[in-house]
Amino acid sequence: MAYQSLNPYDGKILKTFEELTDKQLETALQTAAKCFEIWRHTTFTERTAVLKRAAAILRTRVEDFARPITLEMGKLIEESRGEVALSADILDYYAENAERFLAPQQLTPASGEATIESSPLGVLFGVEPWNFPYYQLARFVAPNLMAGNVVLVKHASNVPQCAIAFADLFIEAGAPVGAYTNLLISKAQVARVIADPRVKGVALTGSEAAGTIVAGQAGGALKKSTMELGGSDAFIVLEDADLDETVKWALWGRINNAGQCCVAAKRFVVVEEVADRFLEKFKAAMGGLKTGDPMDKTTTLAPLSSNQALLTLVDQVDRSVAKGARIVIGGKRVDGSGAFMQPTILTDIEPGTPAYTEEFFGPVALFFRVADEDAAVALANDSSFGLGGSVFTKDIARGKRVASRIDTGMVFINHPTWTAADLPFGGIKHSGYGRELSSLGIQEFVNKKLIRVADINAPA
């Protein structure tokens, strides 16, 4: 029973689910392959109707979908409601724009005619994480269903009720059986699915370690893949930033989703001129957070997703302190039941320290003081990750110049890295490759076919 709902707030097991047998998995693969031969020939109007109905169901039954998120992985209930709304936005976005994004592109060759057509690849396989149980699914499923592909999804083992709810959503919305299939499968079965010739592409959102394995398996089978992996986003504060507003965003950027976000602000890189004032304000803000039941609207810091996630984070802090990092606030787990970590700030972090090189997935902020703008950029780029980042300054032109120097897939000015349906999402370096969302996200798993018309009497 590898798939288990366990409430991280009180440690209670909610429900367990059996993995699929190999025979059941084979049936799912057969069904998906047969469905693709039908779905690929549906019109954009027909596909749009399904996604629009799914989005409408999410909007009318927000609580039904939000509660399982909070119960299974601990997200604050208001954040869970926000995730449901964001997922609906993504479904609507691709329903409304997919046909335009995939319209034939007319080229202008030296002679004759040429067109690029976009056609679906077939059955796609997505391996998705627990930290945003619906949003992660929506951004994989929506563009690919609209492109005419069908999808198989292996969701994280600790959010099975969310996984099942999202699959049921599409059946309720009128999608044919096989268009979206949730797979409760083992790691060995994941490898089998990736290798299966009926599967034409693989997408993973997860850890660097998981990405290495899945990308290797997909590459070995010569299949297109996209990888959205970890991050250690730099939150750069320049001397002319509005400190009060910047600290508000620093708190949100580090604590949203209890800090369990690949694009969370993790490394706070502050120029010397304002470093002490920023740290004082940031410490006060972090110290004012209240742990408690994530279903309670007065709770401001949710538990981590599991006790193991908490133990991993505490170990990272302990190893960093042993290497010379200093605790400004927090540093320990919260006494009592629940997977709670104290709001923590570490400073005096030197190269080679775990806090310098590793991704911290939870409410632990890594504080760095630097001499100036150039030093801030250098530190931001001194990372194996390259997902997002942010720059805080009153001078927008300066902020844009700094953003252009940061080696990541995304940089925000005066806002922590975040997401929206119409903005491309993805990174470079060990943060992965490929893009999701926006017009770019729907182009990843389509065949860009050239159709060329030439004069039969033209010279070779």
Active site residues: 228, 262
Nearest to 235 by CA among 425, 355, 366, 79: 366
Yes or no: say if 437 and 423 are a contact pair by the CB < 8 Å rule: yes
Quote the CA–CA distance of 199 and 25 in Å, as a whole number: 13
Residue 142 structure tokens: 């929506």
Beta bridge partners of 392: 237
**219 neighbors 441 (Cβ within 8 angstroms):** no
Decide if 247 contacts 402 (C-beta within 8 A): no
d(CA 431, CA 251): 23
Furthest-apart CA atoms within the chain: distance in Å? 83
Half-sphere exposure in the Cβ direction for 39 (13 Å, CA): 28
CB 349 within 8 A of CB 234: no
Regarding beta strands 344-347 and 326-329, do their DSSP bridges make them parallel or antiparallel, or are they unpaired? antiparallel
Neighbours of 85 (CB within 10 A): 17
- Terminal alpha carbon distance of the chain: 64
Sheet holding 446-453, edge to edge: 105-107, 113-120, 446-453
